[in-house]
Amino acid sequence: MTPGLGYQPTKHKKKKEEQKQKQKTWVGQPHYVGSGSPNERKLCQWFEAEYQQPIAESSVSRILSSRYDSLDGASSHQLRAKRRRAESWPELERALYEWIRRVQDQESLSQHLILQKARTFWERLYPGQAMPQFSNGWMRGFQSHWDINKSNLQGKSASHSDDGTVEMIGIRQLLNQYAPRDIFACDETALLWKRIPESGLAAAGHTPTGTNGNDRLTTCFCCNSDASERLPLWFVGTAKRPQAFSAAGINIENLGCHWRFNTRAWMTSTIFTEWLLWFDQRMTGRKVVLLMDGLSAHKFAFEEKSYWKCKWASYLVHEHDRGWDPISTMTILHAIRWAISIWEIDLADDIFTHAFRATMSIESIERIDNRQTIMDIENLLHQLYLSGYVSEPMDTSHFIDPVEEKVDDSTLHLDDSILCHFENASELQESASTAIQPLSLVSVSDALEGLYKLRLYEEQQVIANMDLLQVLKHHEKLLLQKQTESQRVSDARAFF
């Protein structure tokens, strides 16, 4: 077993440990097995012949991953070093520290519990690798590095008031000190963007969708109380760069949103901390208040999902009528474009202002009327039933806001919530049941042709949208400049 960091090995064991480290670095050097780039099977054969001990292909794959790049250029002195504790298992230590931070307010922690959790996390983060001893010496080093003392490990009693009414009165008094434009609320919601509205076991020969982790998306919303600022949406998916965006040649950030990813498509504390720093930077020079989930943001997040599910149901009907399988043609690019369009355009300002009033007012506020959206969804679900695509339509309220899409902030899935940020996240790739065909890049000439058609359409109307025509004229000028510059480059190359 690999000795813990608090363990002092004998001279013989030091030599053995140094040899193990060298073995790992040598595996990543192609010249040991001939010219070219060797495959993992050849590396296994070479390793066994060189060291007279077997090695699994999965172990070779992990060793060759970016996680161990630091060993490639390590000196013999660095390979002999045994107290490189801060750099040895950074994912494990960050995950363990996050776990301590999340549970210390709810229960008392002991060193024994922390060591036990370290062993549990090791098996998830470094599968197949020999587990260290996690000695008391390692524990002392870990506590020192992360500034964890005995008082940090004592559970804290809940300090918040059990009387929600008293708490809300205090919040209202605080908010009276801020202008409406400086009161923000944020929330997150999950979206199973391929979920079929089928309450039975299957839909038209499909197994129920939405259970695949790759079909999950988490969205973070934030808006102020007078609806004058709807901040760009943050999305969390399961792929570093979804295939749909690569195939379309699209930079996700160009859509006016922010993209993050992990194995569960969850809004982890790491991502939310990044969001808070981003929010703080946007509010530079302003005095604002940010209300977290449980307040107004829940209401406009629900409205966003209502509009989105209406678009999804309409898409199902349209694709099925064309004879296409909607699940095969639907991509995450559609899902994100719909969400952004709804957030920026479709949701009326009064949805946001009403949500804040309903939360902050002592008096009862009548709910905003969204019956038309509900009726549209019901009609679309009925069409899917009549067409035979679904045999038993889902209840409308469950279709809009199913239990599976609710964000779980409890400690029940705390380990998953923490580790999903570290489990091979840098190498995470999207798995798709069907290949997405790449789209050709749109040329300047094609863009100009489309612009001319749109301008002609608008000019042919009885009353044209003059603001739109003005925008089109400016964009036409930019495209013509690009076309001229491209022609100059081509002429210069032809000359030489």
- Shared domain for 354 and 489, answered yes or no, is no
SS3 of residue 52 by DSSP? coil
Q: Report pLDDT for 281.
A: 96
- Shared domain for 317 and 354, answered yes or no, is yes
| Residue 211 forms part of a structural domain | yes
The token pair at 311 is 């678009």
Where does residue 199 rank: exposed (0-12), middle (13-18), buried (19+ CB within 10 A)? middle
| Residue 438 forms part of a structural domain | no
Q: Is a pLDDT exceeding 50 seen at residue 376?
A: yes
Half-sphere exposure of 37 (CA within 13 A, CB side): 1
Instruction: For residues 356-368, give the mean pLDDT.
Output: 65
CA distance 460 to 148: 71
| Residue 393 forms part of a structural domain | yes
Instruction: For residues 409-430, give the mean pLDDT.
Output: 65
| Residue 435 forms part of a structural domain | no
The token pair at 461 is 């109307």
Strands 258-261 and 234-237: parallel
Element (H, E) at 217: strand 216-224
For 309, the domain range is 166-412+423-427
CA distance 232 to 253: 10
**Range with the poorest average pLDDT among 209-213, 278-282, 329-333:** 209-213
DSSP state at residue 133: -
Contact 112, 64 (CB under 8 A): no
- Shared domain for 211 and 359, answered yes or no, is yes
Q: Is a pLDDT exceeding 80 seen at residue 491?
A: no
C-alpha distances (whole Å) from 183 to each of 178, 212, 224, 227, 439 are 7, 37, 5, 10, 43
CA angle 79, 82, 88 (to 5 degrees): 80
Instruction: Report residue 206's pLDDT band, with 50, 70 and 90 as the boundaries.
Output: very low
CA angle 280, 282, 286 (to 5 degrees): 75
CA distance 18 to 21: 5
**Range with the poorest average pLDDT among 1-10, 347-356, 386-395, 466-475:** 1-10
Instruction: For residues 352-361, give the mean pLDDT.
Output: 79
| Residue 314 forms part of a structural domain | yes
Instruction: For residues 23-49, give the mean pLDDT.
Output: 61
Please provide the size of the chain in residues: 496
Q: Report pLDDT for 148.
A: 82
- Shared domain for 75 and 102, answered yes or no, is no
| Residue 40 forms part of a structural domain | yes
Q: Indicate the average pLDDT of the chain.
A: 79
Torsion over CA: 271, 274, 279, 282 (sign): negative
- Shared domain for 190 and 296, answered yes or no, is yes
- Shared domain for 193 and 292, answered yes or no, is yes
CA distance 300 to 191: 15
What are 384-412's pLDDT values in tens digits?
999 999 999 999 999 999 988 877 666 56
| Residue 69 forms part of a structural domain | yes
Torsion over CA: 396, 397, 398, 399 (sign): positive
- Shared domain for 61 and 173, answered yes or no, is no
Q: Report pLDDT for 244.
A: 93
Q: Is a pLDDT exceeding 90 seen at residue 211?
A: no
Q: Report pLDDT for 56.
A: 79
The token pair at 381 is 């679900």
Q: Report pLDDT for 436.
A: 80
- Shared domain for 254 and 364, answered yes or no, is yes
Q: List the beta bridge partners of residue 185.
A: 223, 291
- Shared domain for 274 and 405, answered yes or no, is yes
Nearest to 218 by CA among 146, 161, 275: 275
- Shared domain for 319 and 187, answered yes or no, is yes
Torsion of CA 364, 308, 350, 405, to 10 degrees: 40
The token pair at 259 is 């993209």
Instruction: Report residue 72's pLDDT band, with 50, 70 and 90 as the boundaries.
Output: low
| Residue 434 forms part of a structural domain | no
Q: Is a pLDDT exceeding 70 seen at residue 453?
A: yes
Q: Is a pLDDT exceeding 60 seen at residue 220?
A: yes
Nearest to 245 by CA among 231, 255, 234, 260: 255
Strands 234-237 and 183-192: unpaired
Q: Report pLDDT for 138.
A: 87
Q: Report pLDDT for 65.
A: 67
Instruction: Report residue 83's pLDDT band, with 50, 70 and 90 as the boundaries.
Output: very low
**Range with the poorest average pLDDT among 16-20, 278-282, 297-301:** 16-20
Q: Is a pLDDT exceeding 60 seen at residue 433?
A: no
Q: Report pLDDT for 87.
A: 44
- Shared domain for 242 and 174, answered yes or no, is yes
Out of 50, 68, 83, a domain closes at: 83
- State the amino acid at position 227 in one-letter form: A
What are 221-234's pLDDT values in tens digits?
999 999 999 999 99
The token pair at 83 is 């107290």
Out of 31, 64, 83, a domain closes at: 83
Contact 459, 469 (CB under 8 A): yes
Number of domains in the chain: 4
**Range with the poorest average pLDDT among 163-167, 241-245, 307-311, 325-329:** 163-167
What are 242-272's pLDDT values in tens digits?
999 999 999 998 999 999 999 889 888 889 9
More confident residue, 418 or 454: 454
Out of 48, 83, 118, a domain closes at: 83
Q: Is a pLDDT exceeding 70 seen at residue 35?
A: no
Strands 234-237 and 289-291: unpaired
Contact 3, 9 (CB under 8 A): yes
- Shared domain for 329 and 401, answered yes or no, is yes
CATH number, position 232: 3.30.420
Q: Is a pLDDT exceeding 90 seen at residue 463?
A: yes
Instruction: For residues 37-48, give the mean pLDDT.
Output: 75
Instruction: Report residue 475's pLDDT band, with 50, 70 and 90 as the boundaries.
Output: very high
The token pair at 263 is 């194995």
Q: List the beta bridge partners of residue 220.
A: 188, 234
More confident residue, 315 or 371: 315
